[in-house]
A and B are shown apart, each in its own frame.
Chain A
Amino acid sequence: MSFEFLSALAGFVLTLMIFSYLVGDNPLFRIAVYLFIGVASGYAATVVWHYVLMPKLFQPLQTGDATQLLLAIIPLMLCVSLLTKLSPRISWVGNFAMAILVGVGAAAAVGGAVLGTLIPQVQASMDALDFRSAASGSAALFKFVEGVVMLAGTVFTLGYFQFSAGRAPDGTPKRNAIFEGIAWVGRFFIAITFGVLFAGVYMAALTAMLERLTSMINFIRQLIGI
């Protein structure tokens, strides 16, 4: 038996076990899921060890350069301090490593959000209204309309997520009337967007099902020789 046949056979069996969930929850489904989690976790640990820790943590220790050695010891110490997170009593020791991780991640997120999304998207919203680059009148009109719609969708969608409100005379929270109207229009854009997203998710799931059914049928065909 080749690996391909074993792989196909295992895949076939696991797929059937998981498809059994459509009938109802059963031990076969649970066995398949727990097996998947165990194998996936083990493979992830293997990948981390081979692709991260070994080349970036242990191999630099073998270098003779002091600077490189120092730069390798510090992350090693930080990684070891992370082990203290397993004990509530001494978990405070790993706070330094977590502080570096959180600080760097926050900075990267902030920089990317500002430089990668906010500015370009705002710029794009303004550029969408520039119909001077349009070739023909209809194209320009369509472009202008598209720009207006996109701008409106952007503004109204952002207005929907503005939940700051004052207090009505009866004590209930109540937003400004203008914001209330903007939010009401924004709900239309969000509903349309989510409808499109729903269709996309379904198509992705359908494709996954097609892939699984194809794999199973090909195995059967291979098994029966047709």
Chain B
Amino acid sequence: MRVFTAAFAIASGLIVLLGYFFPIQPLSQLRLILTDWAIVIAGFSVLIGIFNLIAVQMEKIRTRQKGSVYGALLVVSLIFTFGIGLLLGPEDPFMRLAVDAVIVPAEAALMAILAVTLIYASIRLLRRRVDLMSVLFLLVAVLFLLAIMPTPFGPIPGDQLILDVAGMFSRGGARGLLIGIALGTLLTGLRVLFGIDRPYGGN
């Protein structure tokens, strides 16, 4: 059975990969079908994940674990929202109300807390770790903020130089990071296509 699953994965991956280099029609059509199936499966897996979330919270409620009350609130709100959405559709004003009233404010507020946390962490950085890299890190961050910061008196002198120099170095480093990420993605993908790694349960 493991051989069949590995064959499925390798075959579908090779078909899609070859379509990048050989845009012939049958291959492109097959590639399109496979990617379409992958989209559907990915979408259904989102539902599976949401169902698993419900199961976990229900288990916490059943076993009366600590925080099970919050789990009950989660399950109730989820089922209610999904039910309304099934009936009315995602474009319904009620659903938009859920997004505008709950989802956006909650996430935005959490992101706003991050600003305080970042300032607090940067203040305590040199207390825990004093080395050249830490000092350089904080110095660059401060200079970059300083260069961007508007003043009532106009931009500070040398802000553009700071931005250019910092940008130059950051672009070099970012490119190195991107190339490194791409190389890692390439290696991981090839391991899957060669059947060395089988994250789909073939091992």
Contacts and interface: CB of A to CB of B under 8 A. Distances in A.
A44 interface: yes
Interface of A: 3, 6-12, 14-15, 18-19, 21-22, 30-53, 56-57, 71, 74-75, 78-79, 82-83, 85-86, 91-92, 94-115, 117-118, 121-122, 124-125, 146, 149-158, 161, 186-199, 201-206, 208-209, 211-213, 215
Contacts of B166: 192, 195-196
A43 B185 CA distance: 31
Interface in B167-203: 167-183, 185-186, 188-190, 192-193, 199-202
A166 to B, nearest CB: 22
Contacts of A192: 136, 140, 166, 169-170, 173
A57 B179 contact: no
A105 B86 CA distance: 29
Nearest to B71: A34
12 contacts: A7-B97, A7-B101, A11-B101, A11-B102, A35-B73, A35-B77, A36-B103, A75-B36, A79-B41, A103-B11, A191-B136, A198-B122
Nearest to B176: A157
Given A52-B40, A102-B200, A198-B141, A208 B111 contact: yes
Contacts of A51: 90
Nearest to B105: A11
B4 interface: yes
Contacts of B136: 188, 191-192, 195
Interface string B16-55: 1100100000000000011111111111111110111101
A118 B179 contact: yes
Given A95-B200, A125-B175, A209-B115, 20 more contacts: A33-B106, A39-B77, A40-B103, A43-B81, A83-B48, A97-B41, A99-B8, A100-B34, A101-B38, A101-B42, A117-B182, A153-B171, A191-B136, A193-B173, A195-B166, A196-B140, A196-B166, A199-B141, A203-B145, A211-B112
A205 B1 CA distance: 49
A46 B95 CA distance: 10
Given A110-B17, A115-B20, A74 B37 contact: yes
Interface residues of B, number: 120
Contacts of B109: 14-15, 18-19, 212
Contact of B189 (A47, A71, A106): A106
Contacts of B75: 38
Q: Which 6 A-B pairs have the closest CB atoms?
A: A153-B172, A42-B81, A157-B176, A46-B85, A195-B140, A38-B77
Contacts, number: 394
A199 B163 CA distance: 12
B176 A105 contact: no
Q: Classify the interface of chain A: helix, strand, loop or mixed.
A: helix
Contact of B51 (A86, A108, A158): A86
B156 interface: no
A22 B202 contact: no
A109 B190 CA distance: 10
Given A11-B101, A46-B81, A110-B189, A202 B36 contact: no
B126 interface: no
Contacts of B53: 41
Contacts of A198: 118, 122, 137, 141
Interface in B87-131: 89-90, 93, 95-116, 118-119, 122
Contacts of B145: 199, 202-203
A199 B122 CA distance: 11
Contact of B50 (A18, A45, A149, A206): A45
A189 B137 CA distance: 10
A205 B21 CA distance: 42
Given A75-B40, A121-B179, A196 B170 contact: yes
Given A56-B39, A156-B176, A38 B78 contact: yes
